[in-house]
């Protein structure tokens, strides 16, 4: 008929089984990835499915296996290069084993995070990789674990939660970076944390006393490492040199302008991620100051642009892709039945010395 549309019918599993010369049950096990199937039969079924253009019914498969072959990922800011790179590692690890990834951006908003946990649970994801917004808010995450959905924490720890964690030794890395600035003769070193409202009062205590109690958070652990280096060098930490004014580039630029307007301004700045470092550079340019002639700068994360700018940025390089991939692998191990003790994986960092930090 002129103008008619030819419709094709998806071959059934029975047709695939007949093509492969096996029973329907064997074809179902081979295509669903469950049960016992000989290598010869599995290869015959997969080859037949490929020839016929068969696509498995994911809903039916999930009813049989109890798995949806999807993982949920919750990150606070996908525009942050750390989380976008880590996500690539998670996705690659998932795809290697035949899983897909559902991403939710929480914008560092606890209400959005709790809502996302509910949505992903309702969608029956097999597990979750989470960079939690508030490490003190354990209840919502524990409820997910209690429902039988494993969680792996990325970059941030939640004390008391039954979950694997993947990250770095933030305290040691921050201490090392601060010590390098002190070794260049700087005695007034500022810390740009990003931070949040709950952290600000604790980061404002005289001498940063008690900051080590924030060690479960990335910001807290790095602030503790910064304080360790100053105290060991005989320098009293100055709370006014610690910024916790927001994670965005414009927040860091505003914080830098405030810091440099102090009666005794810093001669060096340690920024706790690459977006904050961009804000510092933006502020310096606006003030007509030069890095490192006027202010030295060291940052966490070796962003793509860090070596391309002038001067090239000295950084604490985290193995970000590997952190994400390791989180993905740990989660899939749990999903697929691992009952090993919960582990806290700490991958090594590397300091890359370039030209943004110089003697005072």
pLDDT in tens, 60-119: 554 444 568 899 999 998 888 899 999 999 999 999 988 899 999 998 888 999 999 988
Among the residue ranges 54-68, 70-84, 114-128, 237-251, the one predicted with the least confidence is: 54-68
At the top level of CATH, the class of 68-167+320-346 is alpha beta
Q: Where are the domains of the chain?
A: 13-56, 68-167+320-346, 170-317
State yes or no: pLDDT of 7 exceeds 60: no
Mean pLDDT over residues 39-59, rounded? 79
Nearest CA-CA partner of 297 in 254, 266, 333: 266
Domains 13-56 and 170-317 in one fold = no
What's the pLDDT score for residue 229? 94
What's the pLDDT score for residue 71? 94
What's the pLDDT score for residue 25? 82
- CATH ID of 170-317, from 2.60.40.10, 3.40.470.10, 1.10.10.10, 3.40.50.2300: 3.40.50.2300
What's the pLDDT score for residue 54? 76
Specify the CATH architecture of the domain 13-56.
Orthogonal Bundle (1.10)
What's the pLDDT score for residue 265? 96
Phi first, then psi: what are they for 246, rounded to 5°? 130, 160
Mean pLDDT over residues 250-275, rounded? 95
* pTM greater than 0.85 (yes/no): no
Percent of the chain's residues with pLDDT above 70? 87
Radius of gyration of the chain, Cα coordinates, nearest whole angstrom? 25
State yes or no: pLDDT of 263 exceeds 90: yes
């Amino acid at each position: 008929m002129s103008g008619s549309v030819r419709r094709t019918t998806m071959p059934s599993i029975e047709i695939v089984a007949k093509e492969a010369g096996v029973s329907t049950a064997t074809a179902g096990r081979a295509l669903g990835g469950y049960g016992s199937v000989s290598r010869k039969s599995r290869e015959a079924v997969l080859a037949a499915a490929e020839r016929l253009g068969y696509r498995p019914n994911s809903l039916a498969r999930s009813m049989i296996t109890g798995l949806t072959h999807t993982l949920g990922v919750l990150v606070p800011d996908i525009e942050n290069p750390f989380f976008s790179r880590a996500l690539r590692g998670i996705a690659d690890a998932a795809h290697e084993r035949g899983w897909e990834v559902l991403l939710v951006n929480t914008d560092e908003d606890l209400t959005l995070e709790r809502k996302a946990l509910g949505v992903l649970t309702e969608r029956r994801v097999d597990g979750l990789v989470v960079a939690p917004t508030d490490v003190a808010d354990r209840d919502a995450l524990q409820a997910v674990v209690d429902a039988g959905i494993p969680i792996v924490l990325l970059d941030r720890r939640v004390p008391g939660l039954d979950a694997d964690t993947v990250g770095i030794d933030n305290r040691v890395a921050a201490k090392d970076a601060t010590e390098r600035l002190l070794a260049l003769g700087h005695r007034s070193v500022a810390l740009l944390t990003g931070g949040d409202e709950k952290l600000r009062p604790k980061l404002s205590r005289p001498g940063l006393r008690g900051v080590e109690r924030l060690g479960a958070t990335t910001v807290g652990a790095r602030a503790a490492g910064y304080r360790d280096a100053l105290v060991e060098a005989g320098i009293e930490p100055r709370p006014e040199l610690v910024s916790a004014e927001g994670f965005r580039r414009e927040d860091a630029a505003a914080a830098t302008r405030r810091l440099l307007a102090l009666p005794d301004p810093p001669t060096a700045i340690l920024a706790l991620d690459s977006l904050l470092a961009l804000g510092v550079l933006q502020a310096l340019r606006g003030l007509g100051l030069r890095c490192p002639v006027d202010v030295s700068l060291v940052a966490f994360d070796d962003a793509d642009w860090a070596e391309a700018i002038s001067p090239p940025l000295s950084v604490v390089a985290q193995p970000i892709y590997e952190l994400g991939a390791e989180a993905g692998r740990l989660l899939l191990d749990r999903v697929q039945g691992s009952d090993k003790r919960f582990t806290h994986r700490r991958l090594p960092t590397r300091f890359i010395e370039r030209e943004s930090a110089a003697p005072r």
